[in-house]
Amino acid sequence: MTRNILKSSVQKASFSIIFQILFRCITFVLNAFIIRTVGQDVLGIMNVRLLLLESTILFLSQEPLLKACLTDTKSHNWAQVINMIWLSVPISACLGIALVYIWINVLNPTDEIYKTQYNLGCFAIALSCIIDQCTQSVVLIVQSFCFVKLKIAFETIYILSRTFIFVYFVVNFPNNAITAFSLAQVFSAIILCSLYYGFFIWYIYKLNQIRAMEDNTEYIKAHPIFSDMNDFPFRSIINFFPGFMFNEDESINKNLFTLTISFVKQSVIKQILTEGERYVMTLSPVLTFSQQSVYDIVNNLGSLAARFIFRPIEESAYFYFTQMILRDETLTKQDQTKVAEAANVLSQLCKIVTSIGLFVVTFGQSYSYTLLFLYGGTKLVESTLPVTLLQFHCFAIVLLATNGVTEAYVFATMNNKQLDRYNYVMVLFSISFLILSYILTNILGPVGFIIANCINMSARIIHSLYYIHNKYLSTKYRPLVGLLPEKKFIGILILSGIVTKISEVCLQPKSVLLHITIGAVFVIGTLIIWALENKDLLKLGYNKYKRKLSLKID
């Protein structure tokens, strides 16, 4: 593929951040709407129980195949890859049947008033997951050929359509909110599937017309979406389905299949680590549905930075490193230009996410109460639990930031044997996390979830740092230096933390606006200090943006 991989990765991260901001804003407004319209119990059933079912089916049936198929896309036999990615459909169907039975018959039952809606919701979630998997071949092609804007546009339409459908049904049928949620999931999945296939029916049709032109140079210049025409291997929409593309080799690539098996083991463990607290809440009567909904609201609010910034960066970093670093070769035997660039990118990413994490910790301690008060009013902050939860989340964000980038590099560069070994380590992490979550939650309540997650995240970070250190030991590059923030930045953070905490104690009870103003002043000062200490990084980013802008003008 001729498109610049780093440019596409950065662009994907940028658009993903914007998309995540939109998605989270919609989610927060919806949560407030649901609480005021139908109550906290319904929110707990939808946001914890049903969305956990969706997350489990999608992650386990989609993540391993998609990760394996995204590896070194330049060398793909696309007929084999298409055959392989479609395995996600029967896998999601089998998982759906098994998990729906467990969700309905094994887990703690809902109140009788919600039972019929809840059962329907479980089946609807499973159906929407199967429909979603039918688009995975298209999603893989979109990511592999860097249709970044297209993916973000369609996912935005998907989120908006799901929201509008849900709100429409809830407004008109407020006693059937869970049914409305279920119908919105199915209808929006159908809309997304139609959008993807509809676009590529048009795209391939136009592509075939352009290929038939005697001189298509000027047309391609005017329509850059067709710039990778010679690399795009699909001649018909039926090529997106298994068995329809010409293939001289075996139906399935054995190396990719082996890599997928490794990712399956890893995905099961990662899913437990990611959604561990939800599994504990779902499988044991630790919290009521009402308490679960409050925890979910605070958890989402505390994870703003993770969802807006860290996750898109992690996804783009993984894709970037898979294209730049070979899994089965030592760094000294690889293209040194790519190795140097990858090391520099890793170092800069570490510096950025660590700085953001420390920034959130500093101001989160003094403004958790203010944020919760502005979001949910006095009802949400009448007890100290939500504030305490959010403050602890701020510490988790630093660890989450570091773990996301370092683990993205680890997963992108490990070979099959290393991945298999790491899977056993992840099993230990998962078991420890679940045990710690259960014990600490019974002792400390919901805060125990966060503390257990922090302990687990720290262990994973230590493992990733050890791997990266050894990886670069034979080279002159030391990318982990990026994890150490500059002295002036640390100094302004300490000063900001002290002053804003004094402001919270002395000024906030009298004037919330004055407390926010003081925080804004120190936020600006902190950002200026960081910018001055990272002038080279900002200058590099500005030059790239300026070059991109000049190319557009030309």
Q: What's the pLDDT score for residue 90?
A: 93
Distance CA 52, CA 61 (A): 14
DSSP state, residue 108: P
The torsion defined by the Cα of 5, 7, 9 and 11, in degrees rounded to 10, comes to -150
**pLDDT at 497 (0 to 100):** 93
Report mean pLDDT in 10-residue bins for the chain, 554 residues: 53 59 68 65 82 89 82 71 89 94 87 89 94 90 78 85 88 87 93 93 85 69 62 83 75 77 77 76 72 74 68 81 83 84 87 90 90 74 81 88 89 84 82 84 82 90 91 86 87 94 90 92 93 78 62 50
pLDDT of residue 226: 64
The token pair that represents 444 in the structure block: 């400390």
Residue where the block lists tokens 């297209």: 150
Half-sphere exposure of 57 (CA within 13 A, CB side): 32
Domains of the chain, by residue range, sit at 1-273, 275-482, 486-554
Of 37, 58, 271, 26, the C-alpha closest to 158 is 26
Determine if the pTM surpasses 0.85.
no
Q: Which residues contact 411 (CB under 8 A, 6 or more apart)?
A: 67, 266, 318, 419
Burial class (CB in 10 A: 0-12, 13-18, 19+), 206: middle
The Cβ of residue 337 has, within 10 Å, a number of other Cβ atoms equal to 9
Distance CA 453, CA 455 (A): 5
In Å, what is the CA distance from 109 to each residue of 114, 282, 296, 491? Answer: 10, 10, 19, 52
The angle that helices 416-444 and 254-274 make with each other, rounded to 10 degrees, is 10
With DSSP H G I counted as helix, E B as strand and the rest as coil, what are the percentages for the chain, rounded to 5?
80, 0, 20
- Residue 130's CB is within 10 A of a number of other CB atoms, namely 19
Tell me how crowded residue 147 is: count the other CB atoms within 10 A of its CB: 23
Q: Give residue 131's pLDDT.
A: 95
Helix axes of 51-69 and 115-133: crossing angle, nearest 10 degrees: 10
pLDDT at 79: 83
Asked if residues 293 and 32 have their Cβ atoms less than 8 Å apart, the reply is no
Cβ count within 10 A of residue 234: 19
- Which amino acid, 543? N
pLDDT given at position 164: 87
DSSP character at residue 46? I
Q: Rounded distance, CA 402 to CA 400, Å?
A: 6
Residue 393 to residue 391: CA distance in whole angstroms? 5
